[in-house]
Amino acid sequence: MINITFPDNTIKSFEEYPNAMDVARSISEGFARNCVAAEINDDLCDLSCEIKQDSRLKFITVKDDAAVEILRHSAAHVMAEAVQNLYKDAKLTIGPVVEDGFYYDIDMESVSEDDFPKIESEMKKIIKAKKPFTRINVTKDQALELFKDNPYKIELIQGLEDQQISLYRQGEFTDLCRGPHIPHTGMIKGVKLMKVSGAYWRADQTKAQLQRLYGTAFFDKKELKKYLHIMEEAKKRDHRKLGIKLDLYSFHKEAAGMPFFHAKGMDMWNALLAYWRDVHRAAGYVETKTPVMLNRKLWEQSGHWENYRENMYTSVVDEEEYAIKPMNCPGGMLLYKTKSHSYRELPLRAGEIGLVHRHELSGALSGLFRVRAFHQDDAHIFMTPDQIEEEILGVLKLANKIYSKFGLGFHLELSTRPKKSIGTDAQWKEATDGLENALKKYGQEYFINEGDGAFYGPKIDIHIKDAIGRTWQCGTIQLDMALPMRFDLTYTGKDNEKHRPVMIHRVIYGSIERFFGILVEHFAGKFPLWLAPVQAVILPINDALAPYGEKIKQELESSGLRCEIDTRTESLKKKIREAQLNYIPLIITMGEKEKTSSTLSVRTLDGKVRMGISMEDFLKPVFKHIRLRSLEEKIL
């Protein structure tokens, strides 16, 4: 007798060893058709997995996020089979799931997007055949024999320590894989190849260059259609193109992964930081600054040298090893230690706009979204243990205040202890409980990410949602009890004894460069007035009015408005159109009538025109709009 315990603690008994699919069918055939995989005693496996002892069982259905990953992993195998059917000399390497889809690196002749229709057609034949995915366990020697004609698979197999190797077969096609997979190819309802690029085997430029085919897949054709619509909209909003069009920033091979911000980009950058400073000052933060480069001894003390060394840039100064900081926290520890502290001072909230550097592979760099040099709006909060919940709640409320200013919603994820970590079990439990209790008190739904915490503590990740429904991980709140111990941080308690503070690491913008890029795409370049790099443009209707236009420009600039004047010998209609295409919120046309009456004629991006408005009546609503940092399109 085998007893199966479900998540709701109900138990079902079976006379013979069932597999997970048998159990699903015992519930109902309809339920079984929607099952993708199962967790048996917390181990993820195929539905064909046989259960030989009393076990806890949880089904993964098409409604679960984990199911989409399994589907896309299976779709990668379908794509690989289709490619091998069409390109007989193609040699497969690896095909992982990535965000929003999957890819497969293949040693094959060069292909382009023009070849996608025939590959997709072959994939659809495989899907229509509803080929079952079957797991096969073989010895290492058997696997080496099976893949003897593929040097990439041979290299992978030889690198495995296990003597038992798992393969997956669909029809005549077999691939090296640990699984799990969907029951059969027919569960893939929507599939699309997205792009192709070059990639080196194992990211090593000295090795073979491969074709990397990207695709995506869904359980529902409607979901695929929705996703493709978002991708099409995202292309229009691509921050790399819009940033160049709006003269905000640029990228240069002389500093790969390190963006250059132009004057207009800096205007927007400074507006972002001015808002950050205002809300943080009001929330009781002070601002600090720490050096970009610190010596190896400090990074060893913090644990970064052991746990993060491969991502750090290093140098030798005066025969001593230094590292450019990938994080601001060790410098923050030194600042805290410059003087003694009392419990009366805590919580102590210190923010820093810190420039950090992290080594990213060149192939991973992507505009402002993945860079090597970036600024973090870091803050470290030092507190007593009984202040944990209140401080985390404070950060969550501050994050909500800041994101709502940009029209961004968010969801929360709690990430727990990873395999590679520092600190004791007791410290991790206390820290994790503190975060979870605060989340429960905050009252917003959250998800748990097992094993995805920082190496020094658990964290809450804040995922914002933009105007077209995409999510981005920006903010994070990390509770740390290990670094205060490593740096021997103390405060004097009510009992006049020394105690160890608890520390929060937190960011809200996250990488300011990345947040900047997200905002460019979120607003599609049409920024609210307070954030717009150029808030107003003056368009004299002829050359004779240019000096008067310059006078008005100087008056507006002295009032604090970011302003330009367009004195080109182009038609007024063309200048207005170009100003609208550059999303300038206030377009001021200047004719003889406006000069004589000392009034302004103002066109806003909603197409409305206010004529004969005095400077005072113009500036009053404009600066109220800016002061409130309003998202409203209506300005006048």
Active site residues: 329, 358, 376, 378, 380, 459, 505
- 3-state DSSP helix/strand/coil % of the chain, to nearest 5: 40, 30, 30
Burial pattern 575-591, b for ≥16 Cβ within 10 A else e, equals bbebbeebbbbbbbbbe
Tokens for 417? Answer: 């202890």
- Structure-derived torsion over alpha carbons of residues 615, 618, 624, 626, reported in degrees to the nearest 10: -100
Residue 287: which of 278, 298, 296, 300 has the closest Cα? Answer: 278
- CA 404 vs. chain centroid, Å, equals 18
For the CA atoms of 20, 24, 25, 30, what is the dihedral angle to 10 degrees?
Answer: -140
Dihedral, 428, 65, 113, 367 alpha carbons, nearest 10: -40
Quick check: helix, strand or coil at residue 56? strand
Q: 505 near 607, Cβ under 8 Å?
A: no
Q: Residue 469 — φ and ψ, nearest 5°?
A: 90, 0
As a whole number of angstroms, the distance between CA 494 and CA 174 comes to 68
**Gyration radius of the chain's alpha carbons:** 29
The one-letter code for the residue type at 484 is: P
Q: State how far the alpha carbon of 349 is from the alpha carbons of 27, 123, 492, 505, 508, in Å.
A: 54, 56, 17, 10, 14
Write out the two tokens for 527. 């920024």
